Amino acid sequence: MDESIREILDDFIRKKGLRQTSQRDEILEIIFASDEHFTPDELFDRLRNAGSRASRATVYRTLGLLVEADLIHEIELGDGQTTYDPNFVDHPNHNHLICVDCGKVVEFEDNHLDLQNDCLTRRLGFRPVRQSLRIEAACERLRNEGNCLDLIQARVEGKRLPNRKK
């Protein structure tokens, strides 16, 4: 984990008059050990697997602090769950392509989109701070071949699938 992330959180917590705890440290380490999106339940499971004794309440409170500190962002992926994205710290302008069939999420950056958004916001009298685009798309492989390995795996793992609007 990049030490600047810890410094940002430490400064933020200090300014709020809170104290840094070992459980917050564990949560921070688990979140930034991967660049994967996660739900609170998935984070809680990762913490348990790592031997942490942090409670669900501590997880939720810490997630709130991390969002407030702008270290992670809440994103909506169409499955009705709150999902968090830790990738905004070093990639503030990134986008998500979400399969409406299996829920697979693909992050992407596009310099053309960045330039277009920059021109648009400036023309309207604003200065862009960050950009996030969510594209929902249907799986071509499922349409063409009748199966999608990501959909099969999601069903096997019992993952909630997106609410498909036909």
pLDDT for residue 154? 72
Note the maximum CA span of the chain. Answer: 57
Q: What is the pLDDT of residues 38-72, one digit of tens each?
A: 999 999 999 999 999 999 999 999 999 999 998 99
Mean pLDDT of 120-135: 88
DSSP state at residue 88: G
pTM of the model: 0.74
Amino acid symbol at 35: D
Q: Any idea where the domains of the chain sit in the sequence? A: 1-89, 91-166
| pLDDT in the model for residue 143 | 78
Are 75 and 7 spatial neighbours (Cβ–Cβ below 8 Å)? no
CATH 3.30.1490.190 fits 91-166, yes or no: yes
**Would you say 149 and 104 are in contact if contact means Cβ atoms under 8 Å apart?**
no
Across 96-117, average pLDDT: 85
For residue range 2-29, list pLDDT tens digits in order. 888 899 999 999 999 999 899 999 999 9
Q: Is 23 exposed, middle or buried (0-12, 13-18, 19+ CB in 10 A)?
A: middle
SS3 141: helix
DSSP one-letter string for 99-134: ETTT--EEEE--HHHHHHHHHHHHHTT-----B--E
CATH number of 1-89: 1.10.10.10
